[in-house]
Structure formats: structure tokens, C-alpha cells
């Protein structure tokens, strides 16, 4: 099963990032749920350097920088659709 997780504490940047992901998933016609991870122990164990962060298939694709562009998000989502991708 393909997975997308947004790690953060529910602040404005976390919500903006989640909204951007959900918009692009809908635009691309993908029915992949976006899981919100706000448990600090889980976040610390994930190995991200900063939050908010995005994990696709368990791999960190974004952490803490300026919010990603739509093109960056599309790249992540396209990558998980490639044949042979384990997510």
C-alpha cells in the first residue's frame, strides 16, 4: 500500500503542506490517504531533521524547508507510481 505521512505539530505550515498534498493528489486522480503524524516520539524516531516533514513510502522527501512547490509535490507523487516502487 502506498503511504504518505505528514509529520508535524498541526501548526499553519503543517496544515498548508497537508492541503497542498491533498490538492495535488486530487488533481492527479490519486486515492492515497495522507496520514497526519503529530506524536512527538514518532516524529523523533522517524529521523527527520525538521518539521513539518513528508514521508512517502517511509522515506523522507521533505523536511522543514520552505513549503515545497506544486512541481516538487507532483514529483514525489509521480515517483510513488513508478513500476517497481515499493511504497
Residue 87 included in any domain: no
Residue 86 included in any domain: no
CATH of the domain at 65: 3.40.30.10
Report the pLDDT averaged over residues 14-39: 94
Residue 69 included in any domain: yes
> By residue range, what is the domain housing residue 55?
4-81
7 grid coordinates? 509529520
| Domains held by the chain: number | 1
Cβ atoms of 57 and 80 within 8 Å: the answer is yes
Predicted structure pTM score: 0.86
Residue 54 included in any domain: yes
pLDDT digits (tens, 9 = 90+) for 74-83: 988 888 766 5
pLDDT level of residue 6 (50, 70, 90 thresholds):
very high
Amino acid at each position: 500500500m502506498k503511504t504518505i505521512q505528514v509529520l508535524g505539530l498541526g501548526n499553519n505550515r503543517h496544515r498548508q503542506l497537508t492541503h497542498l498534498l491533498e490538492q495535488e493528489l486530487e488533481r492527479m486522480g490519486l486515492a492515497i490517504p495522507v496520514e497526519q503524524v503529530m506524536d512527538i516520539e514518532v516524529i523523533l524516531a522517524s529521523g527527520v531533521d525538521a518539521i513539518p516533514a513528508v514521508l512517502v513510502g517511509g522515506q523522507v522527501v521533505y523536511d522543514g524547508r520552505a513549503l515545497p512547490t506544486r512541481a516538487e509535490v507532483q514529483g514525489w507523487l509521480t515517483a510513488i507510481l513508478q513500476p517497481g516502487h515499493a511504497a
